Amino acid sequence: MMQTEITSRQPRRGISRLEIIVLHLCLVMLLATTLPVLSAFGTAEGPSRLLTRNATHLKTIDQAMLLFAADHHGLRPMPGLIDRKEDPYTGRQQVGLGLEDVSKNTTANLYAALIAMKYLRPSTLISPFERNPKVTECTSYDDDAYDPAADVYWDPMFVADLETGSNVSYAHMPLFGLRKKTMWRDTSPQPVALLGSRGPADGIATGDSFSCPQNGRWLGTAVMGPGKLNSSVAQPGTSITWRGLNPRDNPFNFDPSLQVFDQIITFTTAMTDDGPVIQHD
């Protein structure tokens, strides 16, 4: 009986071409239904894990700036003091000498200088929350872009413009005016947003913003001083604020009434004598 049962089984056949086609179609349909959901955060990771990874990126950037400050009299990097104005009489520039070239203090130059001087890697500058297709890692950074003798201090191909293309996700305090003089250091007299996750210009969480997931909720982290991180969450339609600070303060817009205590982190696409040309989201 046992022998009859065994020998009566049909030999196992392979998978037919039709079955392979059907399997591929099923996989395509599965991806089509799940990718829009996953794209809300850019990966299959949960928001808590992404927030932790995002904070790690910002902590790494902050540590890079503190290392720079330790090598440069306590000052965080300012491109205008790295690539200074030329001597008006000789037309030449000496490292560490000369007037600050304020026009150089843009977002692109800030991060490009840190990479060129080996304080930071380009991959750290891309947030795990990033869903703006124009923000991509700079994978072709010129490793020989720092050569003071040739008056070269960073790779000019590194960009930070959210409308045309950016190699960085993170905003920072505009390097201008009293804020820069008193707060852009390895120590700060008060808690102040130095770096952080970027947000919409009006500071309202919305699904229309690239800085928010498609569900409209904003999650982000700010560096509130050397080694001090502060994470926040804003529900759709609510104002984004940093916990523990002035609840009236919008970190993604200038508020003249708060004067020097205004918390503001942005992209600076250009720097003029009148101040920065800022950009959000």
Q: Which residue has the tokens 């996953």?
A: 38
In a domain, 42, yes or no: no
In a domain, 222, yes or no: yes
Distance CA 98, CA 167 (A): 30
Q: Which residue has the tokens 């020998």?
A: 7
Decide: residue 44, CB within 10 A, 0-12 exposed, 13-18 middle, 19+ buried.
exposed
In a domain, 21, yes or no: no
| 201-231 residue pLDDT tens | 889 999 889 999 878 999 999 998 888 898 8
Query: What does DSSP assign to residue 83?
Result: S
What pLDDT score does 187 carry? Answer: 85
In a domain, 62, yes or no: yes
In a domain, 20, yes or no: no
| 170 or 15: which leads in pLDDT | 170
Domain hosting 152: range is 47-279
For residue 153, pLDDT over 90 is answered with yes
Number of domains in the chain: 1
| 33 or 95: which leads in pLDDT | 95
- 82: tokens are 């790295």
In a domain, 30, yes or no: no
| 95 or 223: which leads in pLDDT | 223
In a domain, 32, yes or no: no
CA dihedral 237, 241, 246, 252 (to 10 degrees): -100
Q: List the one residue out of 96, 106, 117 whose CA is nearest residue 171.
A: 106
| 226-254 residue pLDDT tens | 888 988 889 999 988 887 677 778 888 77
Reported pTM: 0.81
What pLDDT score does 236 carry? Answer: 94
